Chain A
Amino acid sequence: MIRPAAGIGLRHPHLALFAAEASDAPLRAPWLEIHSENFLCDGGPRLAMLDAIAARYLISCHGVGLSLGSAEGLDPEHLRRLKTLFDRTQPKLISEHLAWSVTDGTYLNDLLPLPYNDETLNTVARNVETAQSTFGQKILIENPSAYISFPASTMSEPEFLAHLVARTGCGLLLDVNNVYVSAHNNGIDAQDYLNTIPGDAVGEIHLAGHSVAAHGNDPFLIDTHSAKVCDDVWGLYAQTIARIGPRPTLIEWDLEIPELHILLGEAAKAQNLLDLNP
């Protein structure tokens, strides 16, 4: 388990810095999250740095390529490679997205949206069960950011996630920024959404920054992970942990990655809010 403290996403520009720390140096963060797919190589310096970091830090493995929403099921080879990484790194949390990226054997490098209906629920539940039995561990499922919705949907995203939790025993990774972005883009109420998420299932929270699409008279939000967390998202986060209690919380920053102290400053802000909800 990871205690409900604020960690950061570990990205390439900071990898060498963490790997070179002395074994008795104070930890810079209570826990770190990696993108699993960046470490599926056979060997080399990147994996060696991860080994050094995992020897000191609690690690969470966050996947971006398993494609739990694929109608065709999961790629057994990819599952096997992930299992090898998890055996090596011993992550305390494993997470993936309520999204898809693989169809007809083609990998589209994005987290694409799903219609929420019985067919999708059966598909995702089957895939989550396959993943959990392969990894021998519960996984957390993250709510996606979306720019569109589907007429084929018959239930809301929180309803869909609640069904998925009940069916598979999976947990949830609640991305507050994604809720904010999707709610804005698809005309739903972010507070309603957050109030209907089953709080007991939430094992981790993500916070990130987004951008505003600048063209036309349709100012929608794009989930870029390229900026500080905005004030509205901080507000929703504070309300959420007041309702469900503190959870391990991660600052994600994937593009235009800043210096480490800025990232740690965002984590300190999250930690202050967590400390108000012991």
Chain B
Amino acid sequence: MIPLRDLQLLFRNAVLGPGDGSLRAHVRSSGSIADRIAVYRNTVQGSLVEALAAAFPATQRIVGDAFFASLARRFIANAPPRRPQLSTYGSDFPAFIAISDVHQQLPYLADVARLEWVRGEAYFAADAPPFDAAFLVAASDDIETLRLDPHPAVRLIRSQFPIYRIWEVNQPDIIDIPRVDMKVGEDVLVSRPRDHVITRLITSADAVFVEAVYAGKRLGEAAEAALTYNAAHDLQNALAQHFVKGTFRDMRRAT
């Protein structure tokens, strides 16, 4: 009699792969065994394709349903879920796209997928009150020495492609499709200060600023890095946006 562990490994191979040859000897059916095992295979593979399609809707729109399904099935065969929690499945899908053959024709696709993935992460991330800008007024004498912590839901994606615009024109409710200059890279900041995920295009200088703050630099040092990148950077306005849109959580003073 086949040990349970061996039976489960045979079952896994039969539902993740195309064939059920070695499982057949260990199961019984009043009808066609192949048809019956196919129900399990279709459920496992089909539900995982659906989970990926739900997490990567713009990616799916760009390549079309049929191609997306075949890409997803290859990914599932390569990297099936490790956790029984579908909201965590797909973190490696963008990297898989980057090494797949579609990357040659659509070199921006992996970055669009990365953007979609971090939007999902932001949705499910831990809650935290966004940094309250009112505190800044009280601390205005030494604002340059402040350090700010990233909000748990914030993600920065820097791309050499215009991924914000590509993502935007692949939303279901898009009406006017603008021309997209494929040579211009874009930086996108995703946040969720409260209930809603915010996806916004920021300037490269602002991205330099955010990276510096997240690396633990004082606000003064981060501002200097941004202005070194672009002397015309509008620091005041960018900072105000960060406070309204929840880029930072609580604050500690530099010692």
Nearest residue (CB) in B for A120 is B4
- CA A48 – CA B28 in complex, angstroms? 46
Nearest residue (CB) in B for A218 is B31
Pairwise interchain contact B35-A150, C-beta atoms closer than 8 A: no
Complex contacts, A95 vs chain B, CB 8 Å = none
What 0/1 pattern do residues 1 to 23 of B give for CB contact below 8 A with A? Answer: 11111011101100110000000
Complex contacts, A78 vs chain B, CB 8 Å = 83-85
Pairwise interchain contact A216-B35, C-beta atoms closer than 8 A: yes
Pairwise interchain contact A44-B81, C-beta atoms closer than 8 A: no
- CA A152 – CA B16 in complex, angstroms? 23
Q: Which stretch of A107-115, A201-209, A240-248 is in the interface?
A: A107-115
> Taking the nearest CB of chain B, how far is it from the CB of A41, in angstroms?
4
What's the interface size class on B, roughly?
A: 35 or more
Complex contacts, A46 vs chain B, CB 8 Å = 123-124
- CA A78 – CA B84 in complex, angstroms? 8
Pairwise interchain contact B9-A150, C-beta atoms closer than 8 A: no
Pairwise interchain contact B84-A66, C-beta atoms closer than 8 A: yes
- CA A67 – CA B4 in complex, angstroms? 13
Query: What is the predominant secondary structure among interface residues of chain A facing chain B?
Result: loop
The number of inter-chain residue pairs (CB within 8 angstroms) is 152
Contact of B4 among A37, A123, A213, A216 (CB under 8 A): A123
**Does A149 interact with chain B (Cβ within 8 Å)?**
yes
Q: Which stretch of B41-49, B58-66, B203-211, B223-231 is in the interface?
A: B41-49
Q: Given A104-B12, A110-B44, A43 and B4 touching (CB < 8 A)? A: no
Complex contacts, A37 vs chain B, CB 8 Å = 84-86
Pairwise interchain contact A216-B85, C-beta atoms closer than 8 A: no
Which B55-99 residues sit within 8 Å CB-CB of chain A?
A: 80-87
Q: Which stretch of A69-77, A228-236, A267-275 is in the interface?
A: A69-77
**Does A31 interact with chain B (Cβ within 8 Å)?**
no
Nearest residue (CB) in B for A123 is B4
Complex contacts, A38 vs chain B, CB 8 Å = 87
Q: Given A147-B29, A149-B27, A106 and B80 touching (CB < 8 A)? A: yes
Pairwise interchain contact B12-A185, C-beta atoms closer than 8 A: no
What 0/1 pattern do residues 57 to 96 of A give for CB contact below 8 A with B? Answer: 0000000111101111001011001000000000000000
- CA A222 – CA B1 in complex, angstroms? 28
> Taking the nearest CB of chain B, how far is it from the CB of A7, in angstroms?
24
Complex contacts, B51 vs chain A, CB 8 Å = 109
**Does B195 interact with chain A (Cβ within 8 Å)?**
yes
> Taking the nearest CB of chain A, how far is it from the CB of B123, in angstroms?
5
Pairwise interchain contact B8-A103, C-beta atoms closer than 8 A: yes
> Taking the nearest CB of chain B, how far is it from the CB of A143, in angstroms?
17
Which B111-170 residues sit within 8 Å CB-CB of chain A?
A: 123-128, 152-153
- CA A153 – CA B18 in complex, angstroms? 26
**Does B106 interact with chain A (Cβ within 8 Å)?**
no
**Does A220 interact with chain B (Cβ within 8 Å)?**
yes
- CA A218 – CA B11 in complex, angstroms? 22
**Does A186 interact with chain B (Cβ within 8 Å)?**
yes
**Does A151 interact with chain B (Cβ within 8 Å)?**
yes
Nearest residue (CB) in A for B40 is A110
Pairwise interchain contact A152-B87, C-beta atoms closer than 8 A: no
- CA A187 – CA B48 in complex, angstroms? 31
**Does B30 interact with chain A (Cβ within 8 Å)?**
yes
Pairwise interchain contact A147-B40, C-beta atoms closer than 8 A: yes
Q: Given A149-B29, A216-B35, A110 and B15 touching (CB < 8 A)? A: yes
Pairwise interchain contact A48-B195, C-beta atoms closer than 8 A: yes
**Does A168 interact with chain B (Cβ within 8 Å)?**
no
Q: Given A37-B85, A41-B87, A78-B83, A71 and B32 touching (CB < 8 A)? A: no
**Does B253 interact with chain A (Cβ within 8 Å)?**
no
- CA A150 – CA B127 in complex, angstroms? 47
**Does A119 interact with chain B (Cβ within 8 Å)?**
yes
Complex contacts, B126 vs chain A, CB 8 Å = 42-43
Q: Identify the 8 closest CB pairs spanning chains A and B, nearest first.
A: A65-B84, A218-B31, A43-B127, A41-B124, A71-B5, A103-B8, A42-B126, A147-B36
Binding site for B on A (CB under 8 A): 37-38, 40-46, 48, 64-67, 69-72, 75, 77-78, 81, 100-110, 112, 114-115, 117, 119-120, 123, 147-152, 185-187, 213, 215-216, 218, 220, 222
- A–B pairs, 15, beta carbons within 8 Å: A40-B85, A42-B124, A43-B124, A43-B125, A43-B127, A43-B152, A75-B83, A103-B8, A106-B81, A109-B81, A119-B3, A147-B29, A148-B37, A151-B26, A213-B35
Other A-B contacts than A42-B152, A112-B15, 9 sampled, CB-CB below 8 A, are: A43-B126, A43-B127, A43-B153, A75-B83, A115-B7, A150-B7, A185-B29, A185-B31, A220-B31
